[in-house]
Structure 1
Amino acid sequence: MTVLIGNNASGKSNVLEVISAIFSRIYNDKLKELPFKFDLVYTINSLDIRVSKNQEIEYKIKKPEDKSWHNLEKLYSLGSRLPAEFPFTLGESYDYRPSQIIALYSGEELRLWEEYYKKPYFDFNKTPLKNDTYVSKLNMLYVNKYYWDVALLTMYASDVKGLEKIVKSELKTITIQINKKLLSNFIKSKPNNEVNKFVSSFITPESEGDGVENIQSLNLSLDEVKDKIDFKTHTELFNLLCVAKLSKDKKLKLITDLELEFENGITTKDFSEGQKKQILLKLCLEVLSGENSLLLFDEPDAHIHIQKNSSPTY
């Protein structure tokens, strides 16, 4: 783990911005667009990767214990024809890029979102609905206040442990509002689309609407939600909920509202700022992050209660 410590206005957030800028271009093979030079070294899949931009853009690779760097692009081109004495081989599925960049940003400045995370987010939310595309992982994920209910439902439905340390009350009701007309249109055009199937699983013939045209409101218990939906991993559930619920385009918003209510009558909107930040931190650390993920936390101490700073379960 790498931690940057410095005074306010010393440029710590700018480091996160530069890292986001570099990897956003690496994913799209557009490093030439960056207006600055850099030399970045990181370790992934037990190999050191070096990406640099000076006069030319270079990708290099080596074992951590070795001193000599090898041209990564050349190794890819050689494939199985590498000499026998070469220190390592690259399989066809080897990827030198992080599986995902996850940014949890506590500041009010939106430049990080606007510049590096907004476009991938919009592309991610519209592509699976317009095609029969599998809902894959979003490479550049920016987690903020809009994820509270999606995060909690994902973790409750996936039986993630430790939520009772953040939310003391028992979960009572999950209210889901579905745009039935939009869903019906999507199903007609894309009957095999996995997002359409996922949202349809909440609706049963005996379900009653709330009287609002084209909108069906369902009040479900957690067990009822678990019985209705089918997902392989908690990350897949999170991605399905994001595509169905978090689109900014109303023409793509299948789930128009999602609210979790607890025994004492409160919802996530009533949580303290500390609780909300702990929910998102737990989501990032225990649900979204994988072995090759890169997590960028701005002011991570702001997300952790002072009594939990020394505990891995915060």
Structure 2
Amino acid sequence: MKITNLKIEGYKNLEVQLLHNADIIALIGNNGSGKSNLLEAISYIFRSLYRSNENVSFDYLIEYVNSNNQKIKIEKNRSKVTSFVDDVATINIKDYLPKKVIAIYSGEEDRLWQNCFFPFYDEYVKNINKSSHTGILQATSLMPQMLYLNKFY
């Protein structure tokens, strides 16, 4: 996945729009400048998309190109979420979401882990424990959908 456009409104101190064409995004800045909040907001967006029962409280627009070179656009405005694949409206966006979202975070806070990534890790571990009955590949994928690496990794 390559994020090309990201707009976030109403999440903590963020009112941001990023237009971008590089393959990697690195957030660099002073303490308190909003780097962690931006990473959190992106993580909340994908958590809500992977798990449709979890909503985000802020508005956003995210556009990205997936591994099949399709342009994906997902927008949440108030309580309505709309999605497009190659500029064509689609109802089921699940097939076009990234297979994995990986966050690398070096800060001291654990709210990103607790609020966004731990539920995916916890489910993954529970599925591994179930695998003794059903087989590892039937119980779980090789990695959770959302993977968190902190400074200790």
TM-score (norm 2): 0.71
Cα deviations by residue, 1:217-261 (Å, 9 ceiling, x for unpaired): xxxxxxxxxxxxxxxxxxxxxxxxxxxxxxxxxxxxxxxxxxxxx
Number of residue equivalences = 122
Q: Name the amino acid aligned to 2:127.
A: T
- Corresponding position of 2:122: 122
- 3-state DSSP class of the match of 1:116? helix
Q: Pick one of 81, 84, 89 that aligns with 1:57.
A: 81
- In the alignment, does 2:41 pair up with 1:41? no
- 3-state DSSP class of the match of 1:39? strand
Q: Name the amino acid aligned to 2:100.
A: Q
Query: Whole-Å Cα distance in 1 between the matches of residues 34 and 63 of structure 2?
Result: 20
- 3-state DSSP class of the match of 2:96? coil
Offset of residue 96 of structure 1: 0.9
Query: Whole-Å Cα distance in 2 between the matches of residues 110 and 42 of structure 1?
Result: 27
Q: Name the amino acid aligned to 2:33.
A: S
- Corresponding position of 1:260: none
- Corresponding position of 1:141: 147
- 3-state DSSP class of the match of 1:53? strand
Query: Whole-Å Cα distance in 2 between the matches of residues 143 and 120 of structure 1?
Result: 13
Query: Whole-Å Cα distance in 2 between the matches of residues 71 and 25 of structure 1?
Result: 19
Cα deviations by residue, 1:62-112 (Å, 9 ceiling, x for unpaired): 1xxxxxx210228x8xxxxxxxxxxxxxxxxx9311111112211110000
- In the alignment, does 2:35 pair up with 1:28? no
Q: Pick one of 88, 99, 103 that aligns with 1:70.
A: 88
- 3-state DSSP class of the match of 1:40? strand
Q: Name the amino acid aligned to 2:148.
A: Y
Query: Whole-Å Cα distance in 2 between the matches of residues 120 and 5 of structure 1?
Result: 27
Where in structure 1 do 4 or more consecutive aligned residues deviate above 6 Å? Answer: none
Q: Could you tell me which runs of 5 or more consecutive residues in structure 1 were left unpaired when the two chains were aligned.
A: 63-68, 77-93, 146-276, 281-314
- In the alignment, does 2:3 pair up with 1:3? no
The structure where helix makes up a greater share of residues is 1
Instruction: State the superposition RMSD in angstroms.
Output: 2.2
The percentage of counterpart residues that share the same residue type is: 37
- 3-state DSSP class of the match of 2:74? strand
Higher gyration radius (CA): 1
- Corresponding position of 1:179: none
Residue pairs, 1:1-314, within 5 angstroms: 1-30=24-53, 33-44=55-66, 45-55=68-78, 56-62=80-86, 69-73=87-91, 95-131=95-131, 132=134, 133-134=136-137, 135-136=140-141, 137-144=143-150, 280=153
TM-score (norm 1): 0.36
Cα deviations by residue, 1:39-68 (Å, 9 ceiling, x for unpaired): 111110201111111141101121xxxxxx
The structure where strand makes up a greater share of residues is 2
